[in-house]
Structure formats: structure tokens, C-alpha cells
Amino acid sequence: MKFGVIVFPGSNCDRDIATVTQGLLNIPTRMVWHQDTDISDLDVVVVPGGFSYGDYLRCGAIAQFSPVMNSVIEHAQQGKYVLGICNGFQVLTEVGLLPGALIRNRGLHFICDRVPVRVERNDLVWTQDYHNPQQIITLPIAHGEGCYYADRDTLQALEDNNQVLFRYCDQWGEINPDSNPNGSADNIAGIINQQGNVLGMMPHPERASDQAIGSTDGLGVFQGLLSKMAIAQ
């Protein structure tokens, strides 16, 4: 098994991912410059959080045209795994791998906090390491454009196809406006594509993966992938 982490000019969370995959889980990890196009050796591609160049126009608007993104699209179409975190989620919506868009937070302020998140399903590779559906975990957020938006038909399709994987909630797991930090439609914090091999999420699981920094709630996202690949091999 091998991870690849896309590096854009201005990325600031790419090393965080590698610290988890290679440093904590001992999985071979390659940093992939955004102009590279050969990712055929990779099993999982991560489009990391942070800021990519051109974000002053719209988050991910310019990053979507990087040469590597065509390869990421092909990677996903082959059924391989793609994870987009924060700015990476924005990029995945820009290239059409996930529906909807990420827009300015409801309060028009940058938010940096730790928030409760409800795991809606634990029958997928991304969440199989979590014990129960509806499990509540705590993950960091750090974004100014993290408000998930889609038209009502798209939101209904996400519900009908069980594509919502994470939602913002309160400490008891209830979904309500007060537990929605950025105004995301239906409290959406993370979604998958219909095939389930592409995940975009706004919270940062890599920032909650090491007990040395106080939490391992996010580690399950990566361990689920590791378990899946171990079984496949």
C-alpha cells in the first residue's frame, strides 16, 4: 500500500498527512508536486488542507487546473481512493469528483476550533474503524470557506444515496443549527461519491491522529484504509 500527498504552491497541511501515514502508521508515502502526472504507483491520493495558489479568486479555482488533477480524476475513475481534506475538499468539488461547492462561512469569519462530528456510516472503508454508526468524534476545523452548499435536488440525492458520511452535531449527537459552525447545508461535514471511493471532508482528521497532541479521533479515517488494503493483499 502506498499513499501520495499532492503538494500545491502554498500547501500547509501536506506534511501533516505524511506525519500520520508514514510517521505514525508506517505506510510508504510520496509527496507529489502539483505539476507531476504519474501517480500510477499510488493506492490512495490525498489532496490536503491548507491554501492552494489562486484561492483569492475562489478556493480551489486555480488548483483544479494543475496537471496532477487529471491524473487524480483518472485514479478515482479506476476505483482507487481519493481523500480531500478542507482545501482539498474544495478542489474535489471544483474538478467534479464530488457534487456541490464550498462557500464563505455563514458568519463570514475564519473559524479555528474543535467541534463534535457525527459518523453517519461505519460500513465504508473510510469509517470502518469506528465502532458504531452515529458515533460522535471531535475533530479540528480551520477554514473561512467551509460552508457546504448544493441545490435541493443534489442534497436530496446525497441523502437518498447515503453519501453524507460526516455531519456537524452537538455533544449529544443532535443535528441542529446551533451545532453547525459554518452554515453548511444539512450540517454536512463530509461526503462521498456514489462509488464510495472519493471522500471530501472539511474537518481535519490528521490533526487529531496522535495522542501526543491530545486526540486520536481522526486516526480511524486512515486506519480503515490500512485495514482494507491489508485484507486485499
Q: How far is residue 227's CA from residue 233's CA, in Å, rounded to a whole number?
A: 10
How many other C-beta atoms can be found within 10 angstroms of the C-beta atom of residue 128? 16
Averaged pLDDT score across all residues of the chain: 92
- At residue 229, the pLDDT reads 62
Say yes or no to pLDDT of 230 above 70.
Answer: no
> Domain of 100?
3-232
How many structural domains does the chain have? 1
Which 3 state secondary structure label does DSSP give 60? coil
Catalytic residues: 86, 204, 206
Q: Over 60: is that where the pLDDT of 232 sits?
A: no
Q: What confidence score (pLDDT) does residue 126 get? A: 95
pLDDT digits (tens, 9 = 90+) for 29-84: 999 999 999 999 999 999 998 876 666 566 677 778 789 999 999 999 999 999 99
**CA dihedral (151, 155, 161, 167) positive or negative:** positive
Classify the C-alpha dihedral 162-163-165-171 as positive or negative.
Answer: negative
pLDDT tens track for 175-215: 999 999 999 999 999 999 999 999 999 999 999 999 998 89
Which pLDDT score, from 0 to 100, does residue 227 have?
74
Q: Let me know: does 204 contact 165? Beta carbons within 8 Å.
A: no
The CATH number of the domain where 168 resides is what?
A: 3.40.50.880
The reported pLDDT for the residue numbered 206 is 96
CA distance linking residue 46 with residue 55, whole number of Å: 19
Confidence of residue 150 (pLDDT cuts 50, 70, 90): very high
